[in-house]
């Protein structure tokens, strides 16, 4: 017998019910305070609970591009789960409902892990969604079965149904015939009944199918409208308004504009100062945390004499400085682009800590984030006092911090990889001991102490040009960085020949990257270009290749070019 229609309808019924529940949950989550997107919460839970051996996969989830994939994966899994539930539900409606409740409970558990969230709010959002989903599931499954039963009877045995219909027809018509008469009329009735029954079947079948279809389409429509509505409603909950309303941080010591010679006139080289929109973004937050500066506070806690709690206005009232600092991600591969240079406006960390009075033995500064799921980063207390740039930043390139980069405030510490220092959506700075706490990525296998390694990168010729260079003069150019120390030399070698010094652009600051260029007279053929940098301590970057884990990639950036 042809069972595929049954599976097909049941699965659609289940997937649509799950979609409806999800859509309603998202819509409610977008209006109920203290819950954010359930899908995002589940995704965050998945990342957090990923076993250590999947840590590389989890790390790669930090890449911005993987997040939509994770979200999509969760939605698809939900639909698949729903499809499975429908088959359960076909056997027993209460089993199907139970499955939905279990699924809802998972959602509540995930949402309740958000430290800004509330479990009660999560239940208030998910319980009605589960209830609506259950009603849809039961109805859709019933319709699917009805549509299917009729179809099966038509396909399978017209004769059997004809007899059944024949009897039913006679009852319906109220005929009271004797057993003998029935016997005589049997064969004649057989023909007429078969005909009328198949007509009846055909009509019922198409009616039931249409009923299923109608219900399915309405459920799909409500699910889609809820999902779309939730997007719009989440958008309106963004901090765009809050951010637009805050004053531009006005520095007491405005930075001088970069000196003329700090930017080389080479097509395709990295901008000396990275525009905010092009600045790399790395964090565990699946959706950009929306933190309203109006009800935000920065607390300084732990081993301090005077714990502080500053509002945004109080923080802005402190003397602001402007500093160019290049920040980098430990996950940046040799030649990679998880690095950027910005003009940061903020309060020196030192000023805040002096107000709070750091106690003896407080050897670690821990930044805690307001974003859900508890990102933390810890670095040696020394870094706030040893003269490097270390800021609680509120501005980036002359604007309030963009939400993706930590609005309303974040830490920026020159010379340390972001995962141990650059806490975005900062809410607390805790002084503790070095042994007393490990930041978010440390137990996941990343180094506890993580200074940025001296590195250099070839930007020109760019990826697209490399396979088709023309012989003759050709600029090889890029950036080199050794934040907190400064670059003093960059060298280039072609085809593993002798190292030749590149021309350095003027230094912007010791905490920023530095542009360089090497004029090459390119001969035809295949060639290999390499670069290495030396910092002001006299250290030249190592040729030895190391992967980003556990404390940053090493090796020379090497590119192959084809010249004709």
Residues at the site binding ligand MTE, with contacts judged by CB under 6 A:
279-285, 329, 369, 371, 375, 405, 418-419, 422-425
Taking CA atoms, 353 is separated from 33, 359, 410, 431, in Å, by 34, 10, 15, 9
Q: How far apart are CA 291 and CA 409, in angstroms?
A: 10
* Residues written for the chain: 564
* Residue 336 or 357 with smaller CB distance to ligand MTE: 336
The answer to whether residue 328 forms part of the interface with Mo ion (CB under 5 A) is no
- Beta carbon nearer to Mo ion, 59 or 227: 59
Q: What minimum distance in Å lies between the beta carbon of 253 and ligand MTE? A: 23
Of 58, 303, 321, 329, the residue at the interface with Mo ion (CB under 5 A) is: 329
Closest contact distance (angstroms) between CB of 344 and ligand MTE is 10
Q: What is each CA distance from 563 to 219, 474, 519, 523, in whole angstroms?
A: 60, 10, 15, 7
Q: Between 400 and 418, name the residue whose CB sits nearer to Mo ion.
A: 418
Residue 249 found at the interface with Mo ion (CB under 5 A): no
Measured CA to CA in angstroms, residue 419 lies from 68, 354, 503 at distances of 22, 24, 32
CB of 139 to ligand MTE, least distance (A): 43
Handedness of CA 154, 159, 160, 166 (dihedral sign): positive
Angle at 256 between CA 254 and CA 260, to 5 degrees: 160
- Residue with structure tokens 């409606």? 93
Residue among 58, 85, 137, 282 that touches Mo ion (CB under 5 A): 282
Q: Determine the Cα–Cα distance for residues 224 and 384; give it in Å rounded to an integer.
A: 50
| The pair of three-digit structure tokens given for residue 40, joined into one six-digit string | 């995002």
Minimum distance from CB of 280 to ligand MTE (Å)?
5
Q: How far is the CB of 136 from ligand MTE (least distance, A)?
A: 37
Nearer to ligand MTE, 279 or 481 (CB): 279
CB of 433 to ligand MTE, least distance (A): 22
Span from 130-138, 143-151, 260-268, 416-424 in contact with Mo ion (CB under 5 A): 416-424
* C-beta closer to ligand MTE: residue 212 or 279: 279
Determine how β-strand 514-522 pairs with β-strand 364-369: unpaired
Among Mo ion, ligand MTE, none, partner that 375 touches (CB below 5 to 8 angstroms by kind): ligand MTE
- 429: nearest Cα among 372, 484, 390, 483: 390
Residue with the CB atom nearest Mo ion in the bound state: 329
CA distance 405 to 342: 11
> Could you tell me which stretch among 111-119, 288-296, 347-355, 413-421 binds Mo ion (CB under 5 A)?
413-421
SS3 298: strand
Residues between 151 and 180 with contacts to Mo ion, criterion CB under 5 A: none
Nearest distance, CB of residue 563 and ligand MTE, angstroms:
35
Options 171-179, 262-270, 282-290, 349-357: segment touching Mo ion (CB under 5 A): 282-290
Tell me the two tokens of residue 332: 């940046």
Query: Does 419 contact Mo ion by CB under 5 A?
Result: yes
Query: Which is nearer to ligand MTE, 74 or 393 (by Cβ)?
Result: 393
Task: Rank residues 116 and 281 by Cβ distance to ligand MTE and give the closer one.
Answer: 281
Q: Please give the distance of CA 24 from its chain centroid, rounded to a whole number.
A: 22
Cα(502)–Cα(492) distance, integer angstroms: 6
Rounded distance between C-alpha atoms, residue 545 and residue 550, angstroms: 13
Q: How far is the CB of 377 from Mo ion (least distance, A)?
A: 9
229 Cβ neighbours under 8 A, 6+ residues apart: 27, 30
407 forms part of the interface with Mo ion (CB under 5 A): no
Residue 420 interacting with Mo ion (CB under 5 A): no
CB of 361 to ligand MTE, least distance (A): 26
Sequence-separated (6 or more) residues with CB below 8 Å from residue 505: 261, 262, 263, 264, 272, 514, 515, 516, 517
Partner interacting with residue 491 (select from ligand MTE, Mo ion, none; CB below 5-8 Å by kind)? none
Q: How far apart are CA 135 and CA 130, in angstroms?
A: 9
Residues that bind Mo ion (CB under 5 A): 282, 329, 418-419
């Amino acid at each position: 017998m042809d069972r595929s229609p049954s599976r097909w309808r049941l699965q659609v019924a289940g997937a649509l019910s799950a979609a409806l529940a999800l859509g309603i949950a998202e819509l409610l989550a977008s209006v109920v305070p203290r819950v954010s997107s359930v899908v995002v919460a589940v995704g965050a839970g998945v990342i957090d609970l990923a076993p250590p051996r999947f840590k590389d996969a989890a790390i790669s989830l930090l890449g911005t591009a993987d997040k939509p994939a994770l979200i999509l994966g969760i939605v698809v899994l939900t639909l698949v789960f729903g499809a499975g539930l429908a088959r359960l539900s076909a056997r027993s409606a209460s089993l199907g409902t139970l499955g939905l409740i279990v699924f809802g409970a998972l959602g509540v558990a995930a949402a309740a892990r958000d430290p800004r969230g509330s479990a009660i709010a999560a239940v208030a959002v998910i319980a009605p969604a589960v209830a609506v989903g259950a009603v849809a599931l039961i109805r859709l499954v019933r319709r699917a079965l009805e549509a299917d039963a009729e179809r099966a009877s038509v396909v399978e045995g017209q004769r059997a149904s004809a007899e059944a219909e024949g009897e039913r027809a006679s009852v319906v018509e109220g005929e009271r015939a004797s057993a003998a008469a029935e016997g005589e009329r049997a064969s004649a009735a057989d023909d007429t009944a078969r005909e009328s029954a198949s007509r009846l079947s055909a009509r019922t079948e198409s009616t039931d199918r249409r009923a299923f279809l109608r219900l399915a389409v309405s459920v799909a429509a409500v699910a889609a409208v809820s999902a779309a509505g939730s997007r719009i409603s989440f958008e309106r909950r963004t901090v765009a308004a809050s951010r637009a309303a805050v004053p531009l941080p006005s520095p007491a010591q405005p930075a001088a504009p970069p000196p003329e010679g700090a930017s080389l006139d080479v097509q395709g080289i990295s901008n000396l100062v990275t525009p905010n929109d092009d600045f790399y973004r790395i964090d565990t937050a699946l959706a950009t945390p929306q933190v309203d500066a109006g009800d935000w506070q920065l607390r300084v806690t732990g081993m301090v004499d005077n714990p502080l709690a500053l509002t945004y206005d109080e923080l802005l009232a402190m003397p602001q400085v402007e500093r160019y600092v290049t920040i980098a991600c430990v996950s940046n591969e040799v030649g990679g682009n998880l690095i950027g240079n910005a003009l940061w406006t903020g309060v020196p960390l030192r000023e805040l800590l002096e107000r709070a009075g750091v106690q003896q033995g407080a050897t670690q500064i821990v930044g805690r984030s307001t974003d859900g799921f508890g990102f933390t980063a810890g670095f040696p207390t020394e870094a706030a006092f040893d003269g490097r740039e270390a800021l609680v930043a509120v501005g980036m390139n002359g604007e309030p911090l963009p939400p993706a980069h930590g609005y309303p405030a974040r830490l920026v510490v020159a010379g340390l990889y972001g995962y141990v220092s650059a806490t975005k959506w900062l809410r607390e700075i805790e002084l503790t001991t070095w042994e007393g706490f490990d930041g978010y990525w440390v137990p996941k296998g990343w180094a506890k102490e993580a200074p940025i390694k001296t590195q250099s990168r070839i930007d020109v010729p760019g990826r697209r040009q490399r396979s088709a260079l023309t012989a003759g003069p050709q600029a090889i150019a890029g950036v080199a960085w050794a934040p907190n120390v400064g670059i003093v030399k960059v060298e280039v070698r072609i085809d593993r020949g002798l190292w030749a010094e590149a021309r350095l652009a003027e230094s912007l600051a010791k905490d920023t990257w530095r542009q360089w260029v090497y004029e090459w007279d390119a001969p035809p053929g295949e060639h290999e270009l390499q670069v290495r940098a030396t910092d002001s301590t006299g250290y030249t970057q190592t040729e030895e290749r190391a992967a980003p884990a556990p404390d940053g990639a090493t090796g020379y950036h090497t590119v192959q070019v084809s010249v004709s």
